[in-house]
Chains A and B, each alone.
Chain A
């Protein structure tokens, strides 16, 4: 009895942080999205749904009539596609990596974990900058290719969707590898042997024995990659160069250069709604499994 009471008591800091640092800002953003933009940024009091209307419609320059605009949908669509692509690539690269790590002797595993977490030692900004230097027109790859004579003109890689995807995969890969590794490490290796003993080949062992038993780790990895990738800001800003814009940049733009806080807030609310919609199936699946 007292154990349950103590448990609740111990959870209070978490509730407090979630409420103060999650709930209040979110409420502010929602409130902000329902107001009018101030001339020099900020908001003016007064209820208005203009910001939400602006997500799908823009005013015609001449007539002033609202016309449908797919700009927001495009950017959101690109964000979702890039985030999904990042997740799939991270899974495709991260799973074999994690499997390799988990099958090393325990002492070697420590070094692998260290190697995977090593990029976190420097700031994301610096790492992204380094990536720019590698894939830029005068960068390492193009320089090498030009010098060897394989190409005549530099291949445009920076400021493309490819660059953003590369940057996202690079920055979020550890978030896939670590939870999948943890799940694989806990997996009883004899289950794999039992699968082989019962006539399952490599692929069937992977899909019918290993995958079902590490699903919580996979779900955690996918969420940890997909969610931050969807709202990422620094990577698309630097590697996309405004040409491959993602939702995060767009929101930042409204609060910065465009000085349209309500629109930025509405864009943020829309993004949160999208994330919730994406999470719902995962959450339902987990509920069924548990």
Chain B
């Protein structure tokens, strides 16, 4: 379930991807789970590697998000899938058929571009019909499909408008309709909502999710917006420097990050250092600087003995003594966050951690400079891979 970064070795399965075996040889379930399969994909621009031996399986009908900071290679990966760039090595396959050498014009995938890239010389209907015309659909079928798509994105009244006369949100809908019209096997979206203001963005997110669910459309979505990714996706791959750090459901990524970067990128996180003493089936035995020892349930990251990085969320820190990791800390700062209070605390070894909790009288009474006790239940401690930020 949890997907580790072991790009290459663990994931490069023995089966050749161009196989044309009768599907009876395999169970139906795995072929669906490997609908769009990316294997060991590498790509460099001017000898600078942008995608580094990346492997990924995308399931049929799922909303899959590539999430990462700008420059992490997520848009490049999307462009490799679309066929605008050709990988240096590795393979891409869709439903068992490899397509990394197929030109973009013959790949059954369609893209919604970041700036929409609508054809300014055509009207709304002309844009939506373009792909169908290129596929040589008969006229009456094109007309029917265009109607259907415009209805889907609620633009039927604007079919004869020119692109320049549309608002940003309307252009977004046209781009979506244009990409969906040729019934793509995979719909690719490259930061489609980044140009919209917050309210419109939320509206369009809901709209996209509605359409994706209704059509059971396989979607690969690129964004740098964590909230957008968390709210829309079935699964998310967190990317950094051309690699996938972790790939899982939004809930699992938030609850069990494998990586220090992932933990910090999705929400707020505290990190403390520990030493791994032993690791077995029951858990990892860890020694903390203040002399405590604890057994931590193994998570997504399998640590090596020695120094390890322990992560816990600010909202999992409890004020006062309690079961689990028990610590004392100096209050450095107190921040009021509406319903919540956030305390910035300095541990004995100088590590800064945050506590976030519902505002209560006892918490409200805490003053900066005061020394308080805090505790973190063991279930909320996670060993994460210690990546530099």
Contact = CB atoms under 8 A, between A and B. Distances in A.
B131 A191 contact: no
Q: Which of A190, A198, A199 has the most CB of B within 10 A?
A: A198
How many A residues are at the interface, by size bracket?
A: 10 to 19
A197 interface: yes
B190 to A, nearest CB: 10
Interface string B173-184: 000001100100
B82 A213 contact: no
A194 B82 CA distance: 10
Contacts of B379: none
Main secondary structure of the interface of A (DSSP, over half): helix
Contacts of A204: 134
Contacts of A201: 105, 134
B111 A197 contact: yes
Contact of B121 (A193, A198, A213): A213
B336 interface: no
Nearest to A212: B121
A133 B121 CA distance: 47
Interface string A170-196: 000000000000000000101101111
A196 B119 CA distance: 13
A188 B117 contact: yes
B119 to A, nearest CB: 6
Contacts, number: 59
Given A188-B115, A190-B115, A204-B134, A197 B82 contact: yes
A252 interface: no
A200 B83 CA distance: 13
A198 B115 contact: no
B47 interface: no
20 contacts: A191-B119, A193-B84, A193-B111, A193-B113, A194-B111, A194-B113, A194-B117, A195-B130, A197-B104, A197-B109, A198-B110, A198-B134, A198-B178, A199-B105, A199-B106, A199-B131, A200-B105, A201-B134, A212-B121, A213-B121
Interface of B: 82-84, 103-106, 109-111, 113, 115, 117-121, 130-131, 134-135, 178-179, 182
Given A193-B82, A196-B103, 4 more contacts: A190-B115, A197-B83, A197-B84, A200-B130
Interface of A: 188, 190-191, 193-201, 204, 208-209, 212-213
